[in-house]
């Protein structure tokens, strides 16, 4: 953020919140200028107040990712369906990988999550969900593929305690978003600052630390699969009621 501030020629304040709903509220009220959010919150914000994508990270040559359902390495479970009657960790209600995907998958099995799982907890972090499974606090969890892969490099002993039993289709990666009414000049400066990072020695160094190759332009259509999954899940929930 200090790097972006230098490029913009103004101080930048980093604002953090525990949930995506709180972050979206800040963007909607224009209490912050930009936010890096998951694909699910972006779709929610786009539908609600027209949230716009400025840019998105490119990781391992792709601006997409998978959600992974994990269990302890010693678990007898071999698929999501095997987790019926067991405890499960979700990250945030608006998270695609940490909530929307597993909830939609359970509804496709013909059950609501609260009936399918014996207990559901919210961890508010993919790393927290991985640790909850590794330490046997829950039987399973749904997490972001990149977080799991990063943990395998940073804490291999911990990551080795979990095993992937299911994987989602590809979703558009977490975008940098703004309110549509943000000052056009600031919007343009922000976009260019992120897009140009890979062309600057200091920017490349910071991107490597974040395990990002570069920021790229990302179309709204990259999130259509998330929209479809959200719609499918809501219809299933309505039929269940």
CATH architecture of 64-171: 3-Layer(aba) Sandwich (3.40)
Q: What is the pLDDT of residue 25?
A: 96
Cα 188 from Cα 203, distance rounded (Å): 18
Is the C-alpha dihedral spanning 19, 23, 24, 26 positive or negative?
positive
Residue 239 is predicted with a pLDDT of 53
Q: Give me the residue spans of the domains in the chain.
A: 2-61+173-221, 64-171
pLDDT digits (tens, 9 = 90+) for 28-39: 999 999 999 999
- What Å distances lie between residue 177 and 43, 80, 214, 222, CA to CA? 11, 32, 16, 14
Q: What's the pLDDT tens digit per position in 81-121?
A: 999 999 999 999 999 999 999 999 999 999 999 999 999 99
Return the DSSP state at 5: H
**What tens digit of pLDDT does each residue of 211-232 get?**
999 999 999 999 999 998 887 7
pLDDT at 230: 81
| Buried-state track 161-180, b at ≥16 Cβ within 10 A, e below 16 | bbbebbebeebbbbbbbbbe
CATH number given to 2-61+173-221: 3.40.190.10
Structure tokens at 170: 């590809």
140-183 pLDDT per residue, tens: 999 999 899 988 889 999 999 999 999 999 999 999 999 999 99
Q: Let me know if 72 is exposed, middle or buried by CB neighbors in 10 A (0-12, 13-18, 19+).
A: middle
pTM for the structure as a whole: 0.84
């Amino acid at each position: 953020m200090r790097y972006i501030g230098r490029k913009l020629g103004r101080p930048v304040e980093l604002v953090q919140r525990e949930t995506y709903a709180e972050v979206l509220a800040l963007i909607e009220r224009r209490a912050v200028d930009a936010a890096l959010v998951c694909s699910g919150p972006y779709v929610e914000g786009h539908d609600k107040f027209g949230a716009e994508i400025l840019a998105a990270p490119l990781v391992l040559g792709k601006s997409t990712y998978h959600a992974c359902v994990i269990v302890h390495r010693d678990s007898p479970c071999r698929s999501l369906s095997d987790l019926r009657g067991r405890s499960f960790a979700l990250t945030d209600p608006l998270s695609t990988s940490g909530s929307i995907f597993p909830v939609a998958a359970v509804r496709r099995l013909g059950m609501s999550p609260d009936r399918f799982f014996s207990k559901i907890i919210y961890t508010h972090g993919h790393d927290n969900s991985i640790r909850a499974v590794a330490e046997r606090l829950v039987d399973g969890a749904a997490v972001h593929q990149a977080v799991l892969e990063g943990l395998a490099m940073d804490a291999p002993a911990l990551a080795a305690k979990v095993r992937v039993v299911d994987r989602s289709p590809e979703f558009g990666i977490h975008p940098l978003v703004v309110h549509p009414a943000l000052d056009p000049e600031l919007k343009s400066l922000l976009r260019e600052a992120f897009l140009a990072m890979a062309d600057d020695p200091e920017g490349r160094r910071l991107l490597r630390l974040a395990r990002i190759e570069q920021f790229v332009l990302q179309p709204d259509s990259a999130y259509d699969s998330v929209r479809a999954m959200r719609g499918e899940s809501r219809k299933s929930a309505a039929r269940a009621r």
